[in-house]
């Protein structure tokens, strides 16, 4: 099967657009190396690309993506840990100043966890990975009178908070936070609405940002999520 035509066309558009405009920057980044100030931990979901949402230029974001934007707790057991390796590099080597955990609406991973859907056998990877969300479900509390979509939103946001808590289990990372050298943030992207919310560190609530600009540009979507 040949290399996808859509990717070739996309690359041609990149050549005509971004590379033409920013070739000096690419050259400079190639020579001096990257020095991003922001690390983003996001979901693999194709609708939630951090570089697109934050209109980021090359060299600006250090991004790690996985199913449901999960940070596993610190576990120095000699095994290979992808997120932990990226954190080690981002925090110790690049010395990023901010880490943003970016959750989103309609997250398939969170939904699968909530529905206890087990499309794969227990030996497969996604089931074990999603079990890392169990503390987030505890944080979210029982569904109670919430509608199913509202409960999923709560769970998606609790999952962001849980990832932030797990970030703090990494000793060197925690040390940098306590010294004021690193800040941790939670954010949440509404896929249907395009609205980004940022977690208030004190209340834990997710507050829409640039809401006035968003309201001017978009008519309310039929679904708020």
The region of 15-23, 36-44, 72-80, 197-205 touching Zn ion under the rule CB under 5 A is: 36-44
The region of 71-79, 94-102, 106-114, 158-166 touching Zn ion under the rule CB under 5 A is: 106-114
* Of residues 191 and 198, the one with the C-beta less far from Zn ion: 191
* Of residues 107 and 182, the one with the C-beta less far from Zn ion: 107
The residue from 38, 39, 45, 83 that contacts Zn ion (CB under 5 A) is 45
* Of residues 91 and 164, the one with the C-beta less far from Zn ion: 164
Q: Which of 43, 168, 34 is nearest to 96 (CA)?
A: 34
Residue-wise DSSP of 84-117:
HHHHHIIIIIS--SEEEEEEETT-HHHHHHHTT-
Per-residue contact string for residues 81-100; x = within reach of Zn ion by CB under 5 A: --------------------
Return the bridge partners of 102, or none: 187
How far is Cα of residue 93 from the mean position of the Cα atoms in its chain? Answer: 20
- To Zn ion, the closest distance from the beta carbon of 23 in angstroms equals 34
**H runs (alpha helix) in 68-223:** 82-88, 108-114, 125-130, 134-140, 148-167, 171-178, 211-217
- To Zn ion, the closest distance from the beta carbon of 68 in angstroms equals 5
Residue 156 found at the interface with Zn ion (CB under 5 A)? no
Strands 61-66 and 98-104: unpaired
Residue 43 found at the interface with Zn ion (CB under 5 A)? yes
CA of 153: how far to CAs of 104, 143, 205, in Å?
A: 8, 11, 12
Residue 107 found at the interface with Zn ion (CB under 5 A)? yes
Please give the residue ranges that form the binding site for Zn ion (CB under 5 A): 43, 45, 107
């Amino acid at each position: 099967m040949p290399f996808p035509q859509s990717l070739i066309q996309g690359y041609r558009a990149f050549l005509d657009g971004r590379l033409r405009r920013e070739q000096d920057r690419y050259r400079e980044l190639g020579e001096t190396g990257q020095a991003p100030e922001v690390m983003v931990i996001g979901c693999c979901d194709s609708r939630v690309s951090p570089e697109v949402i934050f209109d980021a230029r090359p060299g600006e974001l250090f991004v790690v993506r996985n199913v449901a934007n999960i940070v596993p707790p610190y576990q120095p057991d000699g095994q290979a840990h992808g997120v932990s390796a990226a954190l080690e590099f981002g925090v110790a080597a690049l010395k990023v100043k901010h880490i943003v955990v970016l959750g989103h609406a309609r997250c398939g991973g969170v939904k699968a966890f909530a529905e206890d859907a087990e499309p794969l056998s227990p030996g497969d990877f996604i089931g074990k990975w999603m079990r890392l969300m169990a503390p987030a479900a505890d944080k979210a509390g029982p569904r109670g009178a919430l509608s199913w979509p509202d409960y999923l939103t709560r769970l998606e946001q609790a999952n962001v908070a849980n990832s932030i808590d797990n970030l703090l289990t990494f000793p060197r990372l925690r040390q940098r936070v306590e010294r004021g050298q690193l800040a941790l943030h939670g954010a949440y992207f509404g896929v249907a609405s395009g609205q980004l919310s940022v977690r208030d560190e004190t209340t834990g609530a997710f507050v829409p940002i640039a809401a006035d600009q968003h309201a001017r540009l978009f008519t309310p979507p039929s679904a708020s999520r």
